[in-house]
Amino acid sequence: MQKSILITGGAGFIGSHVVRHFVHTYPEYRIIVLDKLTYAGNLANLADMEGKANYFFEKTDIADETAVSEIFAKHRVDAVLHLAAESHVDRSITHPLEFIQTNVIGTANLLNAARKQWTSGDHLFYQISTDEVYGSLGAEGKFTEMTPYDPRSPYSASKASADHFVRAYGHTYGLPVVLSNCSNNYGPFQFPEKLIPLMINNIIQEKPLPVYGDGSNVRDWLWVGDHVKAIDLIFHQGKNGETYNIGGDNELSNLRLLHILCDQMDQKLDKTQGTARKLITFIKDRPGHDKRYAIDAGKLKTELGWRPETNFENGIEQTIDWYLSNREWLENIISGEYMHYYQQQYHT
Ligand code: NAD
Ligand code: DAU
């Protein structure tokens, strides 16, 4: 059966992996990418999709009511995989309103277009969300799907609000919806404002490695390809109205992660062990910095048979190799807007 699937944010980090997977795995689907191409959206991430018969691209803002409605009609959209977002916590602290505009208003706008156009037939609105909506953990415990929402940054508050709108449209209008809340992803094509690619880039450039606070904050890291597999399963087999947590069973403090990264980078760059570690610099903490995230993905494992397959050692090596062999991609990003952002954020 031919389906038209709208993937929002398809030119971003996770989105580009999702698009590539769906275009290759499901040639019978029409994949329409809707992306505003903000600083984080990059057509170079989708260069290998150009010319594919089942791939289409629309440069549009998800908050633009008329444009979104026209795209729904033009492509007869059957389902939405919603990834478009302002995604960086630090930027949400300096520019919170942009996060409300895209993550809250933009999501509500997409939901409204879906509600109006999906009057009959088989449809799905899939909201890709984050574990940050659950707040911050102490030393023990993990987030489950039953954990109450407690967002603590403008980014997580905007994602939590968007999730509430998705569930509200499900309850009020009977819109078929499904949600997933995932932990920190890593892998190729991640924008170098995020911890891992930022540190890889700084090690290449022999610049200081800025660690917020004392580096003891913990994140649960997941290989992006494992996230994509979970998204595929949930899209095809998830139950209407349900939420699924996705995590890597891979908790690391930022400092521990950085030590692993530094040591592997020294090897790859033929440097003496300990060289990169000397670049580590402790700086002022992120305001409201969440201490620890950890995901219990038991529901997804039991009900849909998913497992994270790529261990961290392997995934981080693949990630480093990708950044080292795609220096042009990195060079193109770390000029202009990125330099400006970097100077403001890190006072260099
Ligand atoms: P990203 O910042 O790399 O990409 C976001 C994409 O959305 C970009 O292509 C950008 O151009 C597009 N976009 C932004 N505003 C838009 C707008 N108004 N209209 C249309 N397009 C717009 O983000 P990512 O890290 O790939 O995250 C994708 C999604 O997954 C987000 O919803 C994020 O909240 C969620 N998520 C991310 C992670 C993670 O670790 N990166 C973890 C869990 C959930
Ligand atoms: O948990 C899922 C979330 O993970 C996603 O929803 C977000 O979109 C994604 O950006 C990510 O949020 P984090 O804030 O956890 O990711 P970030 O890479 O910004 O930071 C990871 C950790 O590293 C965090 O504890 C802050 C710390 N950090 C980050 C940067 C950029 C530093 O110590 N120094 C830095 O320069």
pLDDT in tens, 203-222: 999 999 999 999 999 999 99
Does the beta carbon of 184 sit less than 6 angstroms from any atom of ligand 1? yes
Tokens 């088989």: give the residue: 122
pTM of this prediction exceeds 0.75: yes
Fill in the DSSP letter of residue 121.
S
Cβ(176)–Cβ(124) below 8 Å:
yes
Tell me, using a 6 A CB cutoff, whether residue 37 lines ligand 1. Answer: yes
Check if 131 is active-site: yes
Res 1: pLDDT: 57
Instruction: Name the helix (H) or strand (E) containing 212.
Output: strand 209-212
Domain residues of the chain, as ranges?
Answer: 3-187+222-248+293-309+336-346
How large is the average pLDDT for residues 136-147? Answer: 98
> How many alpha carbons lie under 13 Å from residue 228 in its C-beta half-sphere?
21
With 0-12 / 13-18 / 19 or more C-beta atoms within 10 angstroms meaning exposed / middle / buried, residue 179 is buried
68 within ligand 1 shell (Cβ under 6 A): no
* CATH architecture designation of domain 3-187+222-248+293-309+336-346: 3-Layer(aba) Sandwich (3.40)
Identify the residues whose C-beta falls under 6 Å from ligand 2.
Answer: 87-89, 130-132, 183-184, 194-195, 198, 210-212, 217, 219, 254, 286, 293
**pLDDT at residue 48 in the model:** 97
Give percent of the chain with pLDDT exceeding 90: 97
Nearest bound ligand to CA 200? 2
Number of the ligand closest to the Cα of 67: 1
Which of 147, 195, 338 to probe ligand 2 with, by most ligand atoms within 8 A of CB? 195
* Mean pLDDT computed over every residue of the chain: 97
Distance CA 16, CA 43 (A): 9
Residue 15 Cβ < 6 Å to ligand 1: yes
Pairing of strands 218-223, 251-253: antiparallel
Residue 335 pLDDT > 90: no
| Rounded alpha-carbon distances, angstroms, from residue 230 to 81, 185, 277, 308 | 13, 12, 34, 9
